[in-house]
Amino acid sequence: MKLCKLLLLIPFLFFCNACDILEKDTSEQPQSTITAIGFEGILPNGITFNKENIETSNGLEAFSSSNEGSFITHVLTLSEPSCVSISIELPSVKFSNDFMKINDSLMNVAAEKYYKFSKVKEALTPGDKEIISQQTTGVWEAFRIGVFNQKTYEGYVAEQGLDQSGSYIRVVSTEEGIATDAKLGNVQTLEVVFDVNIKLYSYYPNTKYAGRMKGLLKVRYKEKI
């Protein structure tokens, strides 16, 4: 099978630019206690995430295969000065039944047509979400999470085929807004608070359980008006 995949997550290990579906916790839904963009909680293997000078960004990722067609998605990322980043990949949207060679231009066109602000907002409606795992029934409908330390070349992920029993990811709240971006001009924004308690796994040199990511994180999606 031909496979063409542009990954935004893996390259974070090498470039620091800004430096059973699941068993769900049915306890009371937590109230958001995080007000600023960032992460408050614990990460695997003793990784710490600073609370100051946090940057939030969003980018595109696309996948294409001869068997399943072509898909587009958004990746929301938090980055801090010590080069630790947290990325959340949203569920994917199919934009073609054909295998296609992925490039930036194609991704931009696909996102413009198939994954605009309204679709992002729909994917991030408050409530419990499905995280990619061996329990996942719909691979393209699930969320992925990765934690990366570019200084130490550590990477921890939730991915297809890996156990997530007892884990959960939920959107606690969203808030829409309008802002001015230095590069994009006027943008629509969507600030999102996630509550996560998931298992993360190292993937190099081999896959093994590394520990849980547990806490609240707040990210911002923006799109040119």
Q: What percent of the chain has pLDDT over 90?
A: 74
Q: What is the pLDDT of residue 31?
A: 53
Compute CA distances 225 → 96, 113, 125, 222, whole Å.
25, 14, 21, 9
User: pLDDT tens-digit profile of 183-208?
Assistant: 999 999 999 999 999 999 998 778 89
Whether 4 has a pLDDT exceeding 80, the answer reads no
Whether 37 has a pLDDT exceeding 70, the answer reads yes
Distance in Å from the first CA to the final CA of the chain: 38
Whether 41 has a pLDDT exceeding 70, the answer reads yes
Q: What is the pLDDT of residue 2?
A: 40
- Is the four-CA dihedral 125, 128, 134, 135 of positive or negative sign? negative
Rounded mean pLDDT, 103-128: 97
Compute CA distances 93 → 21, 62, 126, 135, 201, whole Å.
20, 9, 19, 20, 26
Whether 32 has a pLDDT exceeding 90, the answer reads no
Mean pLDDT, the chain, whole residue set: 87
Whether 58 has a pLDDT exceeding 70, the answer reads yes
Confidence of residue 14 (pLDDT cuts 50, 70, 90): very low
Rounded mean pLDDT, 54-63: 97
Whether 11 has a pLDDT exceeding 90, the answer reads no
Amino acid (1-letter code) at residue 217? L
- Cβ contact 78:38 at 8 Å: yes
69: left (phi over 0), alpha (psi -120 to 50) or beta: left
Rounded mean pLDDT, 156-178: 95
Domain definitions of the chain by residue range: 3-19+30-224
